[in-house]
Chains A and B, each alone.
Chain A
């Protein structure tokens, strides 16, 4: 008991004098910015969520490429051969790989949503674990797809 009291008495006063001489912020420059994303450290679950959104928006645009490729592949033997030819170029393969990466990530994160909708893994630890799992699995599958394309 005595020890505790002694410790308490050694504590600095609540209003430390030092606080008075620390920087008085310039109000104009230092006002907090609402949702300044750049200054925030987001948890992995937030990154997983933002990436799911970004990949979804990207995929909508990317469907134009896939529908064009489907058209080329079915129109005629000549266009099929032309498509095969185009897909040998590194640029076209890179585009295809980026689309597959987005598709793989968005799908795995989508399945994660479904699993959580069934009430599985909704805890903080469960959500963090599955977010990590989705990211790691996406990287592995994308690497495999890259190996296949090349």
Chain B
């Protein structure tokens, strides 16, 4: 792994990334099942709003949001470092990969900021 690749890996090594990917995946799955279960009974605005006013739901939602951030970063890192590489396309590969990672980082940042604002703003 060259330096630019290593330095953009979230846990700085494959084993840490592997573990984070799995833990965050399970948290996301639990959260989506919770949301599906909450919607399944049918919701109106007052009950939906009351659900998200509870502290544990806010904390659970924030956990899912941060898990999404880490999970997506590691997952997309794995994809980009497979296809947009110096080996496959020379220095263009490095340029495209770093550019993509900047766009992804910006996207994740926007998701987290929006999510926090939704959870604590209304």
Residues of A within 8 A of B (CB): 53, 56-57, 60, 63-64, 67, 70-71, 73-77, 80-81, 103, 107, 110-111, 113-114, 117, 148
Are B118 and A71 within 8 A (Cβ)?
yes
Q: Count residues of B near A (Cβ-Cβ below 8 Å).
A: 22
- Identify whether the interface residues of A are mostly helix, strand, loop, or mixed: helix
Give B89 Cβ to nearest chain A Cβ, in Å: 13
Q: Report the separation of the CA atoms of residues A107 and B28 in the bound assembly, to the nearest whole angstrom.
A: 9
Q: Given known contacts A74-B49, A75-B122, A114-B25, what 5 new A-B pairs fall within 8 Å (CB)?
A: A60-B75, A74-B48, A74-B118, A74-B122, A110-B25
Are A113 and B114 within 8 A (Cβ)?
no
Q: Kindly identify which residue among A60, A70, A76 contacts B72, using a CB–CB cutoff of 8 Å.
A: A60
Q: Which residues of A contact B68 (CB under 8 A)?
A: 63
Q: Report the separation of the CA atoms of residues A135 and B79 in the bound assembly, to the nearest whole angstrom.
A: 22
Q: Which residues of B contact A103 (CB under 8 A)?
A: 32
Q: Kindly identify which residue among B45, B72, B107 contacts A77, using a CB–CB cutoff of 8 Å.
A: B45
Are B111 and A107 within 8 A (Cβ)?
no
Q: Report the separation of the CA atoms of residues A71 and B65 in the bound assembly, to the nearest whole angstrom.
A: 14
What are 21 A-B contacts defined by CB distance under 8 Å? A56-B76, A56-B79, A57-B75, A57-B79, A60-B75, A60-B76, A60-B107, A67-B111, A67-B115, A70-B118, A71-B118, A74-B48, A74-B49, A75-B122, A77-B45, A107-B32, A110-B29, A111-B29, A114-B22, A114-B26, A148-B40
Q: Which residues of B contact A71 (CB under 8 A)?
A: 114, 118
Q: Report the separation of the CA atoms of residues A61 and B104 in the bound assembly, to the nearest whole angstrom.
A: 10
B60 at the interface (CB under 8 A from A): no
Closest A residue, CB atoms, query B18: A117
Q: Report the separation of the CA atoms of residues A133 and B43 in the bound assembly, to the nearest whole angstrom.
A: 33
